[in-house]
Amino acid sequence: MKTNNAFIMYDPLSISFSILELGGTLDQKKDKLTGLFSPDRATTPLILRPQLKVIDPEGILTSKTQSADFTSSLFNHRWFANDERILSTTPGYTLGNNGELVVAVNAEPGTPINLKYCWNFTDARTHKVFGGEQVVSLVSIAVSDLNLSLKLDAALIIPISPFKNLTTRVINATFRNGETDIADSDAHYEWQVQVPSGDSKVYRAITTDDIFYVSGQGTKSLTIDRRYIDKEFIMLEAYHVAESTRQEYARTKLYRDYGLWEDKMIFLTGRYIRYNTKSVEIQTTIETPKGNIANPSKYFNIEYFYKTEAPGDVFKSIGYGEALSMPRNKIGYDPNVRPVWGIEVKPFSALRATTINGKAATINGKVLCIQKPL
Amino acid sequence: MITKPNYYLVPKNVADAIGLSEYRQEFNGKYLLSDFDINSYGRDKAMAQGAEIVSTEQAAELMNSINN
C-alpha cells in the first residue's frame, strides 16, 4: 500500500489585543502642597480590562470581516507590578475575571509602576496555544498651585528712633498662598542683610555675629536691637517647602533717625557773674516735639567751648557732657571782656563693632562696640 | 494649575449605567464616583438623577469611615 500525507491548513488569525482603562487613567497628578492625588485611586480605583479581538479570515471562528470578542477565551492570566507577580493577596490590587485588574495604588511622582499583563489563547481550529504580553505604566507628576505673597509689617523704609524705651524692634512677615497663611512648618524663612562685597553689595544670611540681631532667624519674626542700627538693608527670603525654587522676597531699610530735635544751652548758675560767684554751670538740653530727652549725653556728643570777647580770642574746647562747671578763676574779672560759652551737639552713630584686621574685637566674649559723633 | 477633584454620590442606576457600580464604594445606597467617572455620562444628567457633589475632604472622610 502506498500512502501520502495531506496537510490541514488554516490561514492565521488576525488578533488585536488591548487593555482598556476604566474609571481613571494611567496618568495622575499629585499636589505637592496637599499630597492629594488626582484622580485618587484609593478612592476611585482604576480598572484595567484586557480585551482580545479576533478575525478569522476563513470565517470559521468569526465572520471573515468582523472581529469578535474572545476576551473570555484568554487564560493563564498573570499580572506583574514592576516585575513582581500580583497575587490575590497583593495589597492595592484586585484580580478579577478574564484578566481584569483593579488598581487602588497611586504612583508617586518619579516612581512609575509598570504593570505587565501576560496571557494565553488557544486557536480552536488548530488547538495551538499562543500568548502575548503588554505593559502599561502608571505615572504621576507633581504639581503645585502656588499664588505666593510675602509682606512685612514694616514700610520699605523704617526710621529707627534711638529714644524709644524698648531697645528691640520686631519685624513680622506674612507669607500666604492665595488667601491662606502658609503654616510655619510648610515655610522656609531666611532673613538677610546687605553687606559690601568688592565694588558691589550682596545679601547674606543674618547670623548671631550681626550685632543688631537678637532672634528670629529661620522664622517669620525678626527681632533686632535698635541700638545697633545705623543703616541696614534687610531682606526676607521665603519659599514653600514643597516648591523651594519659587522664592519670594520682601525688603526694608532700617535707619537710625533722631527726628526733630533742638539743642539749648542754659546757665544753671553764673548767668550774672558777681564778686562772690564761685563757678559757672552750664547745662545742655535736647528738646523734641515729644518733650526733652532724658540723659541727652547718651545719644548726643555734647562739646563745650569757651572764649572771651577780647580781640583775637578764639573758642577752645573745654569739655563734654550734659553739663559743665567752670571755676570762677578761669573766667576773668574784667567786665569789659565778657566770657562766651558755646556748645556743639552731634548725634551719636549706632553702636558699631570695633574691628581689628577686619574681625570684631571682643572682651570676655562680648563684641566691643563704639559710637562716634556724626 | 491643579484643582481639587470633586466626587459624587450617585444612585445605583447611574453607577450601573456608567458600568462602575461593581468597582465603586457604596454608601447608603449611593456610589462614590469621581469627576472623571461621570464625565462620559454627563454631570448635569447625573445631578438630575439624584447625584450629590462631595468635596475631596468629604470623600476622604467617607473612605476613612469604612477603612477604620
Q: Specify the 3-state DSSP secondary structure of A121.
A: strand
Q: Tell me if A282 sits within 8 A of A304, measured CB to CB.
A: yes
**pLDDT for residue A61:** 85
Q: Take residue A28 and report the three cell numbers written for it.
A: 495622575
Average pLDDT value over all residues in chain A: 91
pLDDT digits (tens, 9 = 90+) for A2-13: 888 888 888 888
Mean pLDDT, residues A124-147: 90
Q: Is the ipTM of this complex over 0.90?
A: no
Whether the pLDDT of residue A342 is over 90: the answer is yes
CB-defined contacts A:B, below 8 A: 53
**B39 in contact with A at a CB cutoff of 8 Å?**
no
Among B3, B19, B33, the residue with its CB nearest the CB of A44 is B33
Among B1, B20, B63, the residue with its CB nearest the CB of A43 is B63
Among A34, A39, A47, the residue with its CB nearest the CB of B34 is A39
Q: Kindly report the CA angle at A19 between A17 and A24, in degrees rounded to 5?
A: 165
Beta sheet of A339-347, edge-to-edge order: A316-320, A300-308, A339-347
**pLDDT for residue B40:** 87
Q: Tell me if A277 sits within 8 A of A329, measured CB to CB.
A: no
Q: Is B7 close to A22, i.e. CB distance below 8 A?
A: no
Whether the pLDDT of residue B2 is over 70: the answer is no
**pLDDT for residue A206:** 96
Torsion from C-alpha of A172, A176, A181, A183, nearest 10 degrees: -80
**B66 in contact with A at a CB cutoff of 8 Å?**
no
State the nearest Cα–Cα gap between A38 and chain B, in angstroms. 6
pLDDT digits (tens, 9 = 90+) for A298-324: 999 999 999 998 889 999 999 999 999
State the nearest Cα–Cα gap between A96 and chain B, in angstroms. 11
Per-residue confidence at A357, pLDDT binned at 50, 70, 90? confident
CA B17 to CA A239: how far, in whole Å?
A: 47
Strand partners, B52: B9
pLDDT digits (tens, 9 = 90+) for A216-260: 999 999 999 988 988 999 999 999 998 888 899 999 999 999 889
**pLDDT for residue A114:** 97
Whether the pLDDT of residue B1 is over 70: the answer is no
Residues near A101 by Cβ (< 8 Å), separated by ≥ 6? A47, A48, A79, A86, A93, A94, A95, A115, A117
Mean pLDDT, residues B3-19: 87
List chain B residues with CB under 8 Å of A144: 2
Min mean pLDDT across A143-147, B18-22, B38-42 is at A143-147
Residues near B61 by Cβ (< 8 Å), separated by ≥ 6? none
Whether the pLDDT of residue A42 is over 50: the answer is yes
